[in-house]
Amino acid sequence: MVYSRRRVLQSALALPVVASLPRASLGQTADYPNREIHSICMFPAGTGADIIVRYYSRKLEALAGKPVIVENKIGAAGNIATEYVARSKPDGYTIFIAPASSIIPPARFLFKQLGYDPDKDLTSVALLATVPFILFVAGNTPIKSVPELVDYLRQKGDKASYGSSTTVGEVCAELFKQQFGLNTTEVKYRSGLDGLNELIKNQLDFYFADPGTTKGMVADGRLRPLMLSTARRSSVLPDLPSARECGVNNLDLDSWWSAHVPAGTPVPVVQKLAGWLDAFAASDETKKFLADTTGAEPLLGSAKDVDDLMAKDRAKWAEYVRIAKIEPQ
Of the pLDDT bands very low, low, confident and very high (cuts 50, 70, 90), residue 18 is: very low
Of the pLDDT bands very low, low, confident and very high (cuts 50, 70, 90), residue 41 is: very high
Question: Quick one: pLDDT at residue 97?
Answer: 97
- Does residue 14 have a pLDDT over 50? no
The residue with greater pLDDT, 33 or 326, is 33
Residue ranges and CATH numbers for the domains of the chain are 11-131+254-324 (3.40.190.150), 134-246 (3.40.190.10)
* Interatomic CA distance for residues 234 and 107, integer angstroms: 27
Do the Cβ atoms of 124 and 306 come closer than 8 Å?
Answer: yes
- Does residue 143 have a pLDDT over 80? yes
SS3 of the chain: CCCCCCCCCCHHHHHHHHHHCCHHHHHHHHCCCCCCEEEEECCCCCCHHHHHHHHHHHHHHHHHCCCEEEEECCCHHHHHHHHHHHCCCCCCCEEEEECHHHCCCCHHHHCCCCCCCCCCCEEEEEEEEEEECEEEEECCCCCCCHHHHHHHHHHHHHHCEEEECCHHHHHHHHHHHHHHCCCCEEEECCCHHHHHHHHHCCCCCEEEECHHHHHHHHHCCCEEEEEECCCCCCCCCCCCCCCHHHCCCCCCCEEEEEEEEECCCCHHHHHHHHHHHHHHHCCHHHHHHHHHHCCCEEEEECHHHHHHHHHHHHHHHHHHHHHHCCCCC
Per-residue pLDDT tens digits for 245-294: 999 999 999 999 999 999 999 999 999 999 999 889 889 999 999 998 88
What are the residues whose beta carbons fall under 8 Å from the beta carbon of 65, sequence distance 6 or more?
Answer: 33
The arithmetic mean of pLDDT across residues 175-188, rounded, is 95
Per-residue pLDDT tens digits for 69-127: 999 999 888 899 999 999 999 999 999 999 999 899 999 898 888 999 998 999 999 99
* Interatomic CA distance for residues 178 and 223, integer angstroms: 24
Question: Quick one: pLDDT at residue 328?
Answer: 80
Question: Quick one: pLDDT at residue 126?
Answer: 96
The residue with greater pLDDT, 252 or 329, is 252
Task: Name the average pLDDT for the chain.
Answer: 89
Per-residue pLDDT tens digits for 220-242: 999 999 999 999 999 999 999 99
